[in-house]
């Protein structure tokens, strides 16, 4: 069983399969060409034979149709029937003769004798009588699987059409011959493939046997034994490969002795090669640098080769002398410029020779810009959350202390106002905590997006209608929606939350008497929604920051209106969860436009 499994994975089987496939392709090409040409020739011969009969039958019918008849002569229908029955055969299944008045004069079909004397309405007969068209086509009957040659031709005497002839002939005999020939060809193909497979086995063995010997020798070489050699069985390519293999064996044996001295240094470099790697000699000058290190520091190896490591990495702020690097296990180096922030973490290790004396330094550089950025954002996030929670808590504590001093809570005018403030601050904290929980779920990928097929234009129209109904006096919401339906695969609840945040912000910052425009545009593969207001706008340098968490353009006004500073951050996460994009366009004093795009569902091909 193991030998059989090995055979199916061997190159020997591949040679056999290739040999058979080449032969099979050649046979199939020849067979297809032969069958096609044979089919064409048989059909031409069959059609030519039928046409010869049609011409002879046409000539006899011309004589019968133009002949003058006395009362003693037999009727025309009997003459026509006598003529067409003389031409009836196994191949010709039906013959019909029609006069110039579309009346059937005769037919050979035993099942359609009742049509004799009646007018025919067949289109091809009409064309033959009216325009003199001759038609010839093959009709396939799928119910019985037969092919029939149908011919309709006018009967002309001295250029005048005196009738028409319709003939149907079965061509199944032609295809029956083709089937017999194809069957013989298939049997011959199977016999040829069988013989080819046997020959392929013999040919493949002569090729694969030297390869198997070299495979065994490689296993021996893997153990460190380079003394054995493979046998050379000829002077062909396989034999030349065996000679080259033996020469390689000798070269490896020599190379092993010369590379052992450098093994420890290379092993140390490879074991520490995580990102960028820079190696120095015992004087601290650079002798090796890989490509990732070149990209990180922005300099090629030829530029820094032989330069001091302290100068290249700018380590003079961290150490004064080269020996101090021994005590500096790692440090953060700032390679930032005006266009890009770049922070590198440098890990240092020492090369030691066989006498355990320092032979150089190994520096491993890692890009920690994102890690530092995440850590900085985490600290800012904690500070923002603390500040956002402390403000309402301080307000609540102040008002509650005033209520609990024993006099204020008895005042029917002041006490309700104080309680209303406490309630508003409580609701604000609840909204803040809910937004924080939602963001936490998104960060942990713990939220579920329940997508389904939604007609987007109708969906957003309902949302706009709800806001328009509750809009403050003097504020107008204008909608610009396409008339054609567009379908989006989305979570309706999540997209409703996105639109609620965006439109609510537009209503908050719109002046009295202003307009809010909601526009939906259908592009090639996406649908874009734009919500524009006529508010105070956002400074150009702050537009890209409004989707950051807790970012406010006007902090005092936002807190006064009850915002948490998380609405657009949540909207951005939800849109990106739908494989979309969200952005803002604004000019100070000219209003703001929040836009987002969603992928359209592909239409099913009919």
Q: What is the DSSP string of 130-166?
A: HH---EEEEEEETTTTEEEEEEEEEEEETTEEEEEEE
Look at residue 556 in the predicted model and tell me its pLDDT: 43
Mean pLDDT is lowest, of 122-131, 172-181, 226-235, 284-293, for 226-235
Look at residue 528 in the predicted model and tell me its pLDDT: 92
Task: Return mean pLDDT, the chain.
Answer: 76
**530, 533, 534, 540: CA torsion to nearest 10:** -70
- pLDDT-derived band at 557 (thresholds 50, 70, 90) equals very low
Q: Where are the beta strands (DSSP E) in 235-375?
A: 276-280, 286-289, 330-334, 343-352, 358-367
Topology (CATH) of 452-599: Heat Shock Protein 90 (3.30.565)
- Looking up tokens 């002398």 gives 321
In CATH, which superfamily holds the domain spanning 274-365? PAS domain (3.30.450.20)
Q: Does position 316 have pLDDT exceeding 80, yes or no? A: no
Higher pLDDT, residue 326 or 605: 326
CA distance 267 to 229: 30
CA distance 278 to 311: 13
Q: What is the pLDDT of residues 172-198, one digit of tens each?
A: 878 788 888 888 888 888 887 788 777
CATH number assigned to the domain with residue range 372-443, chosen from the 4 options 3.30.9.10, 2.60.40.10, 1.10.287.130, 1.50.40.10? 1.10.287.130
Look at residue 141 in the predicted model and tell me its pLDDT: 78
| Pair of tokens at residue 69 | 């008849």
Answer yes or no: same fold for 372-443 and 452-599.
no
Look at residue 554 in the predicted model and tell me its pLDDT: 53
Q: Is 349 helix (H, G, I), strand (E, B) or coil?
A: strand
Look at residue 69 in the predicted model and tell me its pLDDT: 59
Q: Does position 4 have pLDDT exceeding 70, yes or no? A: no
CA distance 492 to 470: 21
Range 131-135, long-range pairs (CB < 8 A, 24+ positions): 132/156, 132/161
Mean pLDDT is lowest, of 119-128, 277-286, 366-375, 514-523, for 366-375
Question: What is the percent of the chain with per-residue pLDDT over 70, rounded to a whole number?
Answer: 77
- pLDDT-derived band at 122 (thresholds 50, 70, 90) equals confident
- Looking up tokens 């290190």 gives 293
- Tell me how crowded residue 378 is: count the other CB atoms within 10 A of its CB: 10
What does the pLDDT average to over 58-70? 70
Q: What is the pLDDT of residues 525-537, one digit of tens each?
A: 899 999 988 887 8
What does the pLDDT average to over 466-473? 76
Q: Is the dihedral of CA 206, 207, 209, 213 positive or negative?
A: positive
Burial (0-12, 13-18, 19+ Cβ within 10 Å), 512:
exposed
What does the pLDDT average to over 411-423? 69
Q: Please, are residues 285 and 294 in contact by the beta-carbon 8 Å criterion? A: no
What does the pLDDT average to over 488-503? 86
Structural domain boundaries of the chain?
A: 14-177, 224-259, 274-365, 372-443, 452-599
CATH for 14-177 is: 3.30.450.20
- Looking up tokens 């068209």 gives 133
Q: Does position 285 have pLDDT exceeding 50, yes or no? A: yes
Q: Does position 2 have pLDDT exceeding 80, yes or no? A: no
Q: Does position 52 have pLDDT exceeding 60, yes or no? A: yes
């Amino acid at each position: 069983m193991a030998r059989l499994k090995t055979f199916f994975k061997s190159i020997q089987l591949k040679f056999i399969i290739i040999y058979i496939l080449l032969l099979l392709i050649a046979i199939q090409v020849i067979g297809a060409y032969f069958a096609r040409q044979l089919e064409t020739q048989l059909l031409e011969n069959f059609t030519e034979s039928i046409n010869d009969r049609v011409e002879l039958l046409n000539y006899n019918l011309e004589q019968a149709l133009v002949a003058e008849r006395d009362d003693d002569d037999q009727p025309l229908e009997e003459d026509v029937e006598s003529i067409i029955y003389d031409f009836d055969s196994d191949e010709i299944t039906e013959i019909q003769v029609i006069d110039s008045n579309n009346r059937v004069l005769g037919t050979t079909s035993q099942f359609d004798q009742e049509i004799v004397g009646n007018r025919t309405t067949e289109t091809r007969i009409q064309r033959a009588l009216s325009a003199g068209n001759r038609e010839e086509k093959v009709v396939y009957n799928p119910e019985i699987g037969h092919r029939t040659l149908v011919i309709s031709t006018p009967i002309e005497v001295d250029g005048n059409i005196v009738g028409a002839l319709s003939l149907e002939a079965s061509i199944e005999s032609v295809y029956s011959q083709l089937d017999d020939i194809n069957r013989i060809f298939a049997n011959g193909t199977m016999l040829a493939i069988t013989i080819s497979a046997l020959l392929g086995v013999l040919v493949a063995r002569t090729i694969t046997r030297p390869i198997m010997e070299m495979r065994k020798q490689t296993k021996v070489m893997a153990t460190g034994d380079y003394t054995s050699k493979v046998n050379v069985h000829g002077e062909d390519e396989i034999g030349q490969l065996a000679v080259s293999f033996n020469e390689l064996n000798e070269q490896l044996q020599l190379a092993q002795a010369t590379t052992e001295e450098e093994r420890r240094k290379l092993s140390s470099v490879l074991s520490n090669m995580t990102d960028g790697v820079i190696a120095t000699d015992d004087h601290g000058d650079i002798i090796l640098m890989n490509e990732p290190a070149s990209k990180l520091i922005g300099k090629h190896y030829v530029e820094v080769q032989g330069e001091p490591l302290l100068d290249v990495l700018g380590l003079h702020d961290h150490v004064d002398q080269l020996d101090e690097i021994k005590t500096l296990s790692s440090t953060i180096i700032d390679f930032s410029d005006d266009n890009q922030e770049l922070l590198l973490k440098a890990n240092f290790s020492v090369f030691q020779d066989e006498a355990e004396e320092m032979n150089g330094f190994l520096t491993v550089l890692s890009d920690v810009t994102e890690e530092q950025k995440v850590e900085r954002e985490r600290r800012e996030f904690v500070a923002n959350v603390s500040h956002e929670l402390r403000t309402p808590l301080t307000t609540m504590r102040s008002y509650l202390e005033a209520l609990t001093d024993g006099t204020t809570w008895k005042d029917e005018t002041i006490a309700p106002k104080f309680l209303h403030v406490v309630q508003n601050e409580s609701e604000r904290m609840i909204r803040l905590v809910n937004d924080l929980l939602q963001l936490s779920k998104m960060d942990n990928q713990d939220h579920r997006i329940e997508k389904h097929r939604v007609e987007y234009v109708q969906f957003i129209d309902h949302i706009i209608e709800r806001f328009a109904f509750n809009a403050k006096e003097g504020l107008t919401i204008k909608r610009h929606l396409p008339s054609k339906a567009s379908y989006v695969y989305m979570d309706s609840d999540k997209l409703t939350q996105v639109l609620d945040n965006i439109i609510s912000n537009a209503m908050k910052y719109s002046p009295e008497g202003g307009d809010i425009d909601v526009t939906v545009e259908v592009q090639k593969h996406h649908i874009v929604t734009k919500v524009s207001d006529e508010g105070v706008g956002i400074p150009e340098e702050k537009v890209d920051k409004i989707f950051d968490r807790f970012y406010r353009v006007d902090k005092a006004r936002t807190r006064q209106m009850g915002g948490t500073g998380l609405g657009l951050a949540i909207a951005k996460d939800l849109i990106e969860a739908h494989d979309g994009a969200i952005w803002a366009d604004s000019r100070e004093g000219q209003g703001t436009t929040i836009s987002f795009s969603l992928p359209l569902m592909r239409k099913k091909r009919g």
